[in-house]
Chains A and B, each alone.
Chain A
Amino acid sequence: MDIFSYKGNVKKISFDKLLNLIEKKVNMYFVEDKRVRMKTFAIVIELIQNIYHHGSSHLNEDSEIPISFSIQKTDDNVFALKASNILENSKIEWLKNKLDQINSLSKAGLDKVYLERLMYTKLNEKEGAGLGFLYIRRKTGNTIQYSFTRLNELISEFEVVISFK
């Protein structure tokens, strides 16, 4: 069941509108379940800002960015957040290594790496804090599913799926 679904082009300056729209849907759907509502929107914020920082780094404010974003609920009450965006092929290896490393960590390892990065890494204004996927993995307890679909010699579609109960 789709709680929210969007596929289309979004200008970098319109990300706020998209975030507002998703928040309204999340608030309406999870009106009775504050815990899941707040967790869901906190993850949405990180996913949307990942796209802002990494899916459009080569574009200016007026460029339209093709993205898709959905929130689904399965029959066994698992929620799945799917986000996809365009990524330069040159970044695939870096991102794949980063996600594999995050997925390989134990709970204690995640806590340790997260707190070390929180304390010691320098905030990069163009790329965020580098904590987003670590945060998501910690908060959901699940590995981050991802895939890359090559579109041409320059770019690919990157899709990430976050599941939680």
Chain B
Amino acid sequence: MEKFLLEPTEKTPHVFFDPDEGIFEIGGRSIIENTVKFYEPIFDWIEAYLEKPALKNTIMAKFEYFNTSSSKCLIEIFRKFEGLHKKGIKVHLEWYYEQEDEDMRESGEDFRTVLSFPLSIKEMKVI
């Protein structure tokens, strides 16, 4: 399966998924109005990946800003991986926030509340 890469823009996130390594990076900004249109190819790629996943999966989310409609798309992504976790495959989400950005840290706590797989919240200096 090919790697999945999207370069960031002022309103859309950087996305890098490496199926061989089980590494899934997403971050930057996700503040577009029409989120579904943007995220659909990402959902499709993950669906295909889930048919033959790596044994260990690490999602790294490093956001500066995301709007509430993007949060719905992020939960959709995380739930797809939650399905793997329920099958006994290792899934771990690393949620990063910038120093002093308490709201982003709290968003990580929100996701930790609603997801059943391990999620660690980590501070980073600069995106």
Contacts and interface: CB of A to CB of B under 8 A. Distances in A.
| A and B form one complex | yes
A115 B113 contact: yes
Contact of B68 (A20, A38, A119, A131): A131
Contacts of A19: 31
Given A34-B101, A118-B71, A123 B33 contact: no
Say whether chain A's binding surface is mostly helix, strand, loop, or mixed.
helix
Interface residues of A, number: 29
B72 interface: yes
A45 B110 contact: no
Interface in A24-50: 34-35, 38-39, 41-42, 45-46, 49
B65 A41 contact: yes
A118 B100 contact: no
Contact of A42 (B10, B103, B113, B114): B103
A125 B37 contact: yes
Contacts of B99: 34
Given A35-B102, A42-B65, A46-B67, A118 B33 contact: no
Contact of B114 (A53, A118, A132): A118
Q: How large is the interface on B (under 10, 10 to 19, 20 to 34, 35 or more residues)?
A: 20 to 34
B27 to A, nearest CB: 15
B34 A125 contact: yes
B65 to A, nearest CB: 6
A41 B11 CA distance: 13
A123 B113 CA distance: 20
A38 B104 contact: yes
Contacts of B102: 35
A119 B33 CA distance: 20
B67 A49 contact: yes
Contact of A35 (B36, B71, B72, B101): B101
Nearest to B101: A38
B19 to A, nearest CB: 26
A146 interface: no
A118 B10 CA distance: 24
Kindly list the 6 A-B residue pairs having the minimum CB-CB distance in the complex, ordered from nearest. A131-B68, A129-B69, A123-B72, A34-B100, A129-B68, A129-B72
10 contacts: A34-B99, A42-B65, A118-B72, A121-B72, A123-B35, A129-B71, A131-B69, A132-B67, A132-B68, A135-B68
Interface of B: 10-11, 31, 33-37, 65, 67-69, 71-73, 75, 98-104, 110, 113-114
